[in-house]
């Protein structure tokens, strides 16, 4: 199961390192690993510096990391040993894993050990965005807003039990003439 861990914003990588240090490779009482994977979901974006474009990565969900485990109670016990703020999301009675559609959103764009959404490229056809390259091909309907200057698109998804707008990289590379 996938669980969301809230951490200090800007400290996602450090928190993931500490979680891996305290839980990865550790075995539970029944001999199974406590932690399968801990990752920070990211996306690529292009920025122009001194006339040249560079590909950068940004956090998809600032302030959150995702842990994959079947031993949530034992993982939570190990989180208590981490000196920085970490808290598993859930209700008062239990920790709530991501549901199938939330996992599917992340898995649609990433793979295990490589949790970065690659930059998509698109052209404008009138007022419509047509993705020509990258993971957003065929998913134009998900896009709610495009910021051409920043090279990003906002995508509305259900995540963490609510609807949120997520920013991903989308470079508009041209305009097709209207038909």
What does the pLDDT profile of the chain (179 residues) look like in tens digits? 999 999 999 999 999 998 888 887 777 677 778 899 999 999 999 988 898 989 999 999 999 999 999 888 888 888 888 877 778 887 767 788 888 988 988 988 888 889 999 999 999 888 889 999 999 998 888 899 999 889 999 998 888 778 888 999 999 888 876 66
pTM of the model: 0.83
Please state which of the four CATH numbers 3.30.360.10, 3.30.70.940, 3.90.1140.10, 3.30.70.360 is assigned to the domain occupying 1-116: 3.30.70.940
> Which letter, b or e, does each residue of 75-86 get, where b requires 16 or more Cβ atoms within 10 Å of its Cβ?
bbebbeebeeeb
Identify which of 60, 65, 31 has the alpha carbon closest to the alpha carbon of residue 45: 60
Parse the chain into domains and list their residue ranges: 1-116, 119-179
User: Is the torsion defined by CA of 159, 163, 167, 170 positive or negative?
Assistant: positive
**Helix (H) or strand (E) run with residue 87 in it:** strand 86-88
Beta bridge partners, 170, equal: 120
Residue corresponding to tokens 């199938």: 100
User: Is the torsion defined by CA of 36, 39, 44, 49 positive or negative?
Assistant: negative
């Amino acid at each position: 199961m996938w669980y969301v861990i809230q951490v200090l914003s800007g400290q996602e990588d450090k928190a993931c390192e500490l979680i891996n240090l305290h839980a990865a490779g550790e075995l539970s009482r029944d001999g199974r690993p406590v932690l399968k994977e801990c990752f920070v979901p990211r996306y690529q974006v292009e920025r122009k510096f001194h006339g040249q474009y560079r590909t950068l990565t940004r956090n998809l969900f600032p302030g959150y990391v995702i842990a994959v485990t079947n031993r949530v109670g034992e993982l939570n016990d190990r989180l208590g040993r981490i000196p920085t703020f970490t808290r598993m999301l859930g209700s008062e009675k239990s920790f709530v894993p991501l549901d199938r559609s939330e996992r599917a959103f992340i898995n649609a764009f990433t793979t295990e050990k490589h949790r970065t959404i690659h930059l998509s490229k698109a052209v404008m056809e009138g007022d419509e965005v047509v993705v020509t390259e990258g993971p957003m091909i065929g998913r134009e309907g998900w896009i709610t807003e495009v910021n051409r200057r920043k090279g990003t698109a906002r995508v509305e998804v259900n995540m963490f039990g609510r609807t949120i707008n997520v920013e991903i990289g989308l470079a508009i590379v041209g305009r097709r003439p209207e038909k």
